[in-house]
Structure 1
Amino acid sequence: MTETIAARRTLPWWPDVLLLAAFAALTVALIQDHLLALDERVADWAFGHQPPVPYWTARVLNYLGQGGQVLTPIGLILTGLLTYRTRSIRALFPFIAAYVVTYLTIGPMKLYFDRAAPRYEGPFKTEMFNPVASGVESRSFPSGHMGNALVWYAVFGILAAALLRRTLTRWEFFAIRVLPVVIVFITTVYTGFHWLTDSIAGLLLGLFLARLVERIPWDRIPVPEMRGWERPAGL
């Protein structure tokens, strides 16, 4: 577990700077009406190639990026198992952190940028700060599916490693951290839940947030004496 903590703490910062710069550049480009035609072409192609079997398969697989219906329950199960095994309050920290970083970033951005989703049938649907769309129809940028997936599967990886009491193998890392994110990206664009650039923005922001969560030395956070519940959780 020491190697796992060290690996998280020694992550270089320059990729994070690049991720934020790329996210900012993409956001500015969209605000200035660049890449909108690309988004429309990709969405039009997706809507024109949705026979029932591929479409509904994609719809089901897209649940891998659903925060409340899939990611939160899985996170609760893993957190509960680790808390039961370790009798440590620290086992709760990654789960709490996932909620905090996503709700303080992705949610407010969706409300601020006010971009309609591809399935919206009103005017200005590709534009940022849509003056007409409102409610759930105006919360497309950045993709919450992508942002949530990257953060939550990073937390799943942290919790799984603690439960296994070892670092994840390369294949385990791929299965937990990479494959679900790839599936969510493809299905989110294909089903028309988000524009291509929404998903790219969610990918950039989500990866930044995931790396932020990975850096935290959970077992070294100062906590008051709690009758033994402050002990390390192997995170």
Structure 2
Amino acid sequence: MEKLPPLIPSARTVRKWLRAGWREIRILTAVMLLTGGLWTFAELADEVMEGETHRFDRFVLLALRNQADLSDPLGPAWFEAMARDITSLGGVVILLMVSAAAVGFLFLVRRPAAALLVVVSVGGGTLLSTLLKMGFERARPDLVPHATEVFTASFPSGHAMLSAVVYLTLGVLLARTQSRRRVKAYLLTIALLLTGMVGASRVYLGVHWPTDVVAGWCIGSAWAILCWLVARWLQYRGRMEPEAFLQERNGVGQGR
């Protein structure tokens, strides 16, 4: 006589269903964030090209300056120096050094596919940033003196975009090697804080319009999410090391 399946699933089966459902929710959330980032960038770019954001951009830049001397950002001298230090974390040289260090580490621990993901993410993000700047050719703010040197076009902010690409990608990679949720949350929070502070420093120093930075955050985050989704797809096809990205696929590392 054929054995019938149990009417009440076992605890192991329930946990497996919950893990599968949670994975689908995360993928759906990532797709929604990706779509939202691209849509926001497209809408913002359209408004910028039509000059609809100029009043808002002027208001924010002037609000961050001493009205008696527009060359002087608000706050003490040490705060302005700190802003310059923070903004350098989004510079091309620093980001390339951080990325190269991460790639070297991933090769040392025998994670070549993860290393390749970092290379493609950073290289592709840099190329995309350059093409977007060439396409829009928005002039830098001339409303206030710049507090640091600039050499490229303004829209979108390359510092905001590339810091999102690099720090979010590395944050996700590191988080996926950890088993505790609070450690994962800590790593992702650090990545978000670095991205946010770099972008904010560009506006404070007067080298970008606020909308440049918001656009950079949107397109940079969207690019990082896209790379993450591609990595998951390759992983499920067996072309990427699963333990480097998705320990929880086998039930390892459920949060504490």
> TM-score interval w.r.t. the shorter chain?
0.7 to 0.9
Give the Cα separation in 2 of the matches to 1:142 and 1:61: 19
| CA shift for structure 1 position 9 | 7.8
| CA shift for structure 1 position 20 | 1.4
| CA shift for structure 1 position 47 | 3.6
| CA shift for structure 1 position 7 | 7.3
**Deviating runs (4+, > 4 A) in structure 1?**
6-9, 162-168, 218-223, 230-233
Partner of 1:210: 224
Partner of 2:206: 192
**CA gap 1:120/1:7 in 2 versus in 1, 3 angstroms:** farther
Post-superposition CA distance 1:52-92 (Å, at most 9, x none) = 22111111111221232x22211211221121122x43132
| CA shift for structure 1 position 39 | 1.0
> How large is the Cα RMSD of the aligned pairs?
2.9
Letter in 2 for 1:59: R
Partner of 2:64: 46
| CA shift for structure 1 position 95 | 1.9
**CA gap 1:72/1:220 in 2 versus in 1, 3 angstroms:** farther
SS in structure 2 opposite 1:207? helix
Give the Cα separation in 2 of the matches to 1:172 and 1:18: 23
Equivalenced residues, count:
209
Letter in 2 for 1:80: G
Give the Cα separation in 1 of the matches to 2:84 and 2:152: 20
Partner of 1:65: 90
1:108 aligns with 2:131: yes
**CA gap 1:140/1:65 in 2 versus in 1, 3 angstroms:** same
Q: Over alpha carbons, which structure has the higher Rg?
A: 2
Provide TM-score, normalisation by structure 2.
0.70
Give the Cα separation in 2 of the matches to 1:8 and 1:151: 23
* Percent of residue pairs identical: 25
Q: Is the Cα contact below 8 Å between 2:168 and 2:188 reproduced in 1?
A: no
Partner of 1:75: 99
Q: Is the Cα contact below 8 Å between 1:219 and 1:233 reproduced in 2?
A: no
The correspondence of residues 1-235 of structure 1 with structure 2, limited to 5 A, is 10-12=27-29, 13-48=31-66, 49-50=73-74, 51-68=76-93, 70-86=94-110, 88-119=111-142, 139-161=153-175, 168-175=183-190, 177-217=191-231, 219=235, 234-235=244-245
SS in structure 1 opposite 2:206? coil
Asked which structure has the greater RCO (Cα within 8 Å, sep 6+), the reply is 1
Give the Cα separation in 2 of the matches to 1:64 and 1:95: 17
Give the Cα separation in 1 of the matches to 2:77 and 2:90: 21
Q: Is the Cα contact below 8 Å between 2:102 and 2:115 reproduced in 1?
A: no
5+ residue gaps, structure 2: 1-18, 67-72, 145-149, 246-256
Give the Cα separation in 1 of the matches to 2:119 and 2:185: 26
Provide TM-score, normalisation by structure 1.
0.76
Tell me which moved more, 159-168 or 94-103.
159-168
Give the Cα separation in 2 of the matches to 1:56 and 1:64: 13
